[in-house]
Structure 1
């Protein structure tokens, strides 16, 4: 006889009481995740681990994960209810993406029972933070063109190569890595996925400083790193099958049913400066053109939220096209660029100069404008998502490709990308 699932509203009330009793108000680190120093970042990481463990001990970690791996075995509706009640409260924001989505989501879908038993409970307890190792220095958004190689050596594999733009790798514990294991087949058919502990000999992690001074992104160099075959995820050379689902979960991001993060309007704050405050500071609240921009900014936010909710529901039900997450990816990227541009336009000349030490959020408008294109690049470019929509959602013909059916070793590569 199957166990009866707790009604959503009863769960919501229970979650509301627990959150009020156990979680404080949302903190600055929850809203932006930006820290002023490495010491502060590590302090925030330790706090997030503690909060994740608190959720686990309270019976609210991994709401949609199976009970056998430490989850609650509940539905996406339960997860949404908890996320709504969580709004305005502190939460372990650094676990949401990419630890839960896509990494834990991929492990849950493709990992062996032993792999899931070893890592999913540890993730839910806050003991393991994961990153995804996909992009490469010479590969751009062509994930299938990877050249980081894993070579079989008995019961182990030997890893050599590099990955780049990996967020938080310098303090993370584990990574999910896509490698090249066969050079004699077309590029989509010669890849394999592995689980990789990051803090080990042969793994060198270098920080990348961005225009805004942040250095969360990293580049990793692998030199003769040994991986036991028991840490292989899926079949040898079948990595693209896993990779397509991996990228699907990546595009879902915070909309994944496996991610618990504050949603709704109950005290929820944003790290974006208020466009109303920006217009007030610029003396433009009586300007009809400024009011139109404020309305457009708000409308884009509402549509983004509702689109994400709808696509998340479709993903959770299994009824929607599995590549609809690309629609969200394109809209979210373009809307973010437009919202940053609106804020910049409203601020006027004040946005051209700002004080790094000023606590007034409107003084960040200029930097946010300079960094606006990140929303169309990070996590897979919007151009790639457009291709996915055209080919897999609208069923349009694929553009001709010179490497189709060609063994990967014979595909022309740049000077740093040959085997």
Structure 2
């Protein structure tokens, strides 16, 4: 029997007040410059505090180090966690995407090796999915996993892997059968990130952030015991990863800890009301209308996340319904960044170094507004999933369906 929600809320409130440090806004809250190793050390420390207090992995089974509670308990904890320092960096993709996939597809040995370590804060996980030549065609992966007895030799490259440099293990989609159609010749491997043959290059974005990485694999041995799911059955695992990612991006993951409304980067935006008040625009009826619209979009997103995730958990909605969350979050995020830009006014374009959060973050968010339309697959892909798997519309034509991958015409691989 799960603990009563009100009793759990009171227990969490008391423990948080007695144990967790209060979150403090830093004067240097601008875009990261890549020198953020201390942030990852701190995130692991905070996760260990949650673990020692019995508040880590609330929705993970007890046999793997979790608490075996419900998504409602996690939502209550997140509400009470507002104002406290939390290990937000671990939410995506470790807790909300990769670890749930191991829970879904892992062997008993894999679950017992990785899940307790994740919940303690000892392991950080990453996705190795996209490739330099792949675009949105994830199933067209050409990174090779060549089997040699009980070992797969890994060769190729992955890209746009968020925070791979800070991770311990990666879930890597590789091609293991070139004569099968592209969706049926893939395997998911659990790869140790920092080992001989793995090179990680960080990618510097225009705002100085270095979250994204590209990885190069040169004859990296991966034990066959580290296949997640089945050999040549990797597309099922990848599809599940994408389900968890769409749910997380849409705000519906039951596995994340931290205040509601915190973005993927791990930092909440400054409050629009405070922003308008600081600019002496709070009495402007147009500004008030914009702020109201933003708050309505946020409330709809929260309620939609609860409705869809509860519906999927109860079997009333198919897993593909997670694309509804993903699509609404993407479209509403674009609108909310536009609203933030309008409310911030000139301060969104120029600001003193110490006042990044006073308007500047909205300017940067506006430049990156389309990013929310890419995580977990593009918005166009979400619309395809909704039309085909929820509305039962005809499937989009694909020229390479059921064709052996070795016979599919390939573009040239970019030079290293």
Taking structure 2 as the reference length, the TM-score comes to 0.92
C-alpha change, 1:217 and 1:19, in structure 2 (3 Å) is same
The separation in 1 between residues aligned to 2:164 and 2:190, in whole angstroms, is 14
1:378 corresponds to 2:404:
no
Note the 1:16-415 alignment, pairs <5 A. Answer: 16-28=13-25, 35-36=32-33, 38=35, 41-253=36-248, 254-263=251-260, 271-280=268-277, 282-415=279-412
Is the 8 Å Cα contact of residues 191 and 226 (structure 2) preserved in structure 1? yes
C-alpha change, 1:7 and 1:365, in structure 2 (3 Å) is closer
C-alpha change, 1:11 and 1:298, in structure 2 (3 Å) is closer
* CA deviation after TM superposition for structure 1 residue 356, in Å: 4.3
* CA deviation after TM superposition for structure 1 residue 317, in Å: 2.9
C-alpha change, 1:236 and 1:306, in structure 2 (3 Å) is same
Gaps of 5+ in 2: none
* CA deviation after TM superposition for structure 1 residue 216, in Å: 0.9
* CA deviation after TM superposition for structure 1 residue 339, in Å: 0.9
C-alpha change, 1:352 and 1:260, in structure 2 (3 Å) is closer
Is the 8 Å Cα contact of residues 354 and 366 (structure 1) preserved in structure 2? no
C-alpha change, 1:92 and 1:347, in structure 2 (3 Å) is closer
* CA deviation after TM superposition for structure 1 residue 36, in Å: 4.9
C-alpha change, 1:177 and 1:27, in structure 2 (3 Å) is farther
Equivalent residues, number = 409
Gaps of 5+ in 1: none
Deviates more, 1:76-85 or 1:199-208: 76-85
Deviates more, 1:104-113 or 1:20-29: 20-29
Is the 8 Å Cα contact of residues 32 and 271 (structure 1) preserved in structure 2? no
The separation in 2 between residues aligned to 1:417 and 1:238, in whole angstroms, is 27
| Secondary structure in 1 matching 2:320 | coil
Is the 8 Å Cα contact of residues 354 and 364 (structure 1) preserved in structure 2? no
The separation in 1 between residues aligned to 2:406 and 2:73, in whole angstroms, is 49
* CA deviation after TM superposition for structure 1 residue 117, in Å: 0.7
The separation in 2 between residues aligned to 1:357 and 1:50, in whole angstroms, is 28
* CA deviation after TM superposition for structure 1 residue 33, in Å: 9.8
1:24-78 C-alpha deviation (Å, 9 max, x unpaired): 212448x97954551xx21111111111111111112111111111111222222
Deviates more, 1:345-354 or 1:86-95: 345-354
C-alpha change, 1:360 and 1:257, in structure 2 (3 Å) is closer
| Secondary structure in 1 matching 2:43 | helix
The separation in 1 between residues aligned to 2:331 and 2:34, in whole angstroms, is 31
| Secondary structure in 2 matching 1:139 | coil
| Secondary structure in 2 matching 1:219 | strand
The separation in 2 between residues aligned to 1:264 and 1:175, in whole angstroms, is 27
Is the 8 Å Cα contact of residues 76 and 316 (structure 1) preserved in structure 2? no
* CA deviation after TM superposition for structure 1 residue 302, in Å: 1.4
C-alpha change, 1:246 and 1:173, in structure 2 (3 Å) is same
* CA deviation after TM superposition for structure 1 residue 14, in Å: 1.7
The separation in 1 between residues aligned to 2:256 and 2:362, in whole angstroms, is 29
Is the 8 Å Cα contact of residues 147 and 417 (structure 1) preserved in structure 2? no
1:11 corresponds to 2:3:
no
The separation in 2 between residues aligned to 1:264 and 1:370, in whole angstroms, is 20
The separation in 1 between residues aligned to 2:211 and 2:194, in whole angstroms, is 17
The separation in 1 between residues aligned to 2:161 and 2:62, in whole angstroms, is 30
1:165-188 C-alpha deviation (Å, 9 max, x unpaired): 111111211111111111111111
| Secondary structure in 1 matching 2:288 | helix
C-alpha change, 1:343 and 1:11, in structure 2 (3 Å) is closer
